[in-house]
Amino acid sequence: MRSTLVCAFTLCSAAPLAHAGQVWIVDDDGGAGVDFTSIQAAIEAAADGDTVLVKEGDYAGFHVFAKALAIVGEKDASIAVGGGSSVRGLAASQHVVLRGLGALHGSSADAQAATLATEALVIKNCAGSVWVEGATIEGGYATVGTYAFPSGAAGALALEIENAASVVLAALVVRGSSGSDLDDEFVTPNPGWGASAVRATNSQIAVHGCDLRGGHGGSNTDTDSSPGGAGAHGLHMIGGSAHIAGSKLAGGYGGFGGDGGFFGSCGSGGSGGDGLRVEGATASAETLDCTLVAGNAGPGGWDSSGPCSPGAPGLAVRVLGGAQYAALAGRAVGLALPSPLRELESAHAGVSGAPGSIAWLAYAGAPAQLELAGLVGVLALAPPVVLLPLGALPASGAIAVPFTPLDLGAGVEAALVRAQAVALDPVTLTATLGAPASVVLLDASF
């Protein structure tokens, strides 16, 4: 088994790997061998196809525009990226990988400066693919709104995707931020609404092994009639398509309505968010082996007449405006691969799925987003694709296969391989295309 996977990550004539250009080292502490102390400076210096390797540290947000890059965090490094980041304007031939970047946060709202909380990551107007893997993504925090700036109380999306041809989200924890509470009616008029974890508009996305939760609505803790804020959605699709496998999608809960006391009236509770909301005649979504959780309704406040009405609860799945939704039968197929890896560094490939299913590891040098007749899922790899047999999954449903990347060759600093797990049910002969993962292979000198 080891020899099979050794061949998989070797730059031999049959191996469809993409050379990843020059490697730029980013470390906020500076020092010998470090090219830049900020991610943005490395992006600006890099050429199409380069790799940005981020060491442990705290970094400002970054912005990629019309450039093909792999931006990867060092394995097991503690990395935080704050202030909001984006990938925009990719041509069809340009692809971006963001992997292992720790915690990405948006900017927090500031009522005094009249600035809203911002998204942690925006992917917009991209004809090329964007893969986002192995990170925690959180929208910027809301603040207590004011009468002059009430919108500051609203939470922020964690991840916004708009007009993107192919986006892969894998092994992510994504949290829309919650609305702020109202604790003084003379300062702010209403509690804030929560924001969705992911909102995708007119885009094609694949979600594997992710945990998405919408932000909660703020509560009215004062004695007035303002209602609680609404909770938001785990994933909100507006047009476009989504394949979602092995993931949890949860709506945020609604906030508490205000109490009226003996002399005033109370406020109703905020509505709960949906686990998955699919909206619009051009929107479609399918789920495989997912947990979908509705957000709870917020309770109403109390006044001298009794309780006010609660908000409306969210739904596990809400389909609106002629959208289409399907829940697929079967088991999701997972894939775990470490990245980055150095030449001759021992590692393991982990594949999980239904016990007894026959597993393969597919890999290629370029991405795709293809639906193939007769197969469950979406092919994330562009031909030519190599298939490596791994055998039947044991009773535990998981295997870990050792492998060792060989030498990249003289003058090659890095290479990028994209892999995807595949499993075949030996009884029904149904093949499922599972989770994808990217691996950046580095020269041993890095």
Give the predicted TM-score (pTM) of the model: 0.94
- Residue 152 confidence (pLDDT): 63
- Asked if residue 296 is part of any domain, the answer here is yes
Asked whether residue 399 is assigned to any structural domain, the reply reads yes
Task: Provide the pLDDT for residue 184.
Answer: 63
Regarding whether 186 and 314 lie in a shared domain, the answer is: yes
User: Both 207 and 303 in a single domain?
Assistant: yes
- Residue 5 and residue 25: Cα distance in Å, rounded? 28
Measured between alpha carbons, how far is 190 from 146 in angstroms, rounded to an integer?
Answer: 9
Model pLDDT, residue 20: 63
CA 408 from centre of chain: 30
Record the tokens describing residue 360, joined without a space: 């393969």
Read off the pLDDT of each residue in 197-201 and give the average, rounded to a whole number: 98
Which long-range contacts does 310-313 make (Cβ < 8 Å, 24+ apart)? Answer: 310/254, 310/268, 310/269, 311/217, 311/227, 311/228, 311/230, 311/254, 311/257, 311/268, 311/269, 311/270, 311/271, 311/272, 312/271, 312/272, 313/271, 313/272
Q: Is the pLDDT of residue 22 over 70?
A: yes
- The helix/strand count (H/E) of the chain reads as 2, 33
Same domain, 131 and 215: yes
Q: Does pLDDT of 391 surpass 90? A: yes
Please say which residue of 328, 357, 372 terminates a domain. 328
* pLDDT interval class at 4 (50, 70, 90): very low
* CATH number of domain containing 373: 2.60.40
Return the pLDDT at 404: 87
Residues 299, 360 within the same domain:
no
227 and 273 inside one domain: yes
> Which range of residues forms the domain containing residue 153?
59-328
Tell me: the pLDDT tens digits for 96-119?
Answer: 999 999 999 998 877 666 677 789
Mean pLDDT of the chain: 91
| Domain final residue pick, 328, 350, 374 | 328
Say whether both 428 and 400 belong to one domain.
Answer: yes
Sole residue written with tokens 């693919």: 129
> Are the C-beta atoms of residues 154 and 106 closer than 8 Å to each other?
no
Query: Sign of the C-alpha dihedral, residues 198, 94, 97, 389?
Result: positive
269 and 390 inside one domain:
no
Report the domain count for the chain. 2
Cα end-to-end span (Å), the chain = 28
Residue 2 lies in a domain: no
Mean pLDDT, residues 390-404: 94
Shared-domain flag, residues 416 and 355: yes
Q: For 428, how many CA atoms within 13 A lie in the half-sphere containing its CB?
A: 14
Rounded Cα gap, residues 415 and 36, in angstroms: 21
Nearest alpha carbon to residue 48 among 61, 37, 64, 36? 64
pLDDT tier, 443 (very low <50, low <70, confident <90, very high otherwise): very high
pLDDT at residue 3, rounded to an integer: 37
Distance CA 167, CA 367 (A): 10
Residue 29 lies in a domain: no
| φ/ψ (deg, to 5) at 45 | -80, -25
> Would you say residue 238 lies in a domain?
yes
Which pairing describes strands 317-320 and 276-288: parallel, antiparallel, or unpaired?
A: parallel
Strand partners, 172: 135
> Among 328, 361, 394, which residue terminates a domain?
328
Structure tokens at 2: 């080891």
Q: Does the structure show a pLDDT above 80 at 440? A: yes
- What is the Cα–Cα distance from 75 to 82, expressed in whole angstroms? 19
The pLDDT of residue 151: 61
Run of H or E residues at 359 = strand 358-364
Q: How far apart, in whole angstroms, are the C-alpha atoms of residue 124 and residue 200?
A: 10
Is residue 184 located within the same domain as residue 317?
yes
| CA–CA gap between residue 351 and residue 434 (Å, rounded) | 9
Tell me, yes or no, whether 48 lies in a domain: no
In contact, 273 and 196? CB cutoff 8 Å: yes
Considering Cα of 214, then 288, then 336, then 166, what sign does the dihedral take?
Answer: negative
Write out pLDDT tens, residues 368-389: 999 999 999 999 999 989 999 9
Residue appearing with tokens 């929560």: 194
Give the C-alpha separation, 375 to 367, whole Å.
18
Q: Is residue 295 part of a domain?
A: yes
Task: Please give the average per-residue pLDDT across 328-342, as a whole number.
Answer: 96
- Are 83 and 202 in the same domain? yes
H/E run at residue 41: helix 39-45
Q: Does residue 290 sit in the same domain as residue 260?
A: yes
DSSP assignment string, 271-307: PPPPSEEEEEEEEEEEEES-EEEPPPPPPP-EETTEE
Domain membership flag for residue 267: yes
pLDDT value at 1 more than 50? no
Mean pLDDT confidence for 292-299:
97
pLDDT digits (tens, 9 = 90+) for 228-272: 999 999 999 999 999 999 999 999 999 999 888 777 889 999 999
Q: In the prediction, which pLDDT does 141 show?
A: 85
In this structure, are 280 and 361 located in the same domain?
Answer: no
Instruction: Calculate the alpha carbon distances from 38 to 28, 29, 52, 316 in Å.
Output: 6, 10, 11, 41
DSSP 250: E
pLDDT in tens, 351-371: 999 999 999 999 998 999 999
What is the per-residue pLDDT across 122-169, written as a single tens digit (0 to 9) for each? Answer: 999 999 999 999 999 999 887 775 555 566 678 899 999 999 999 999
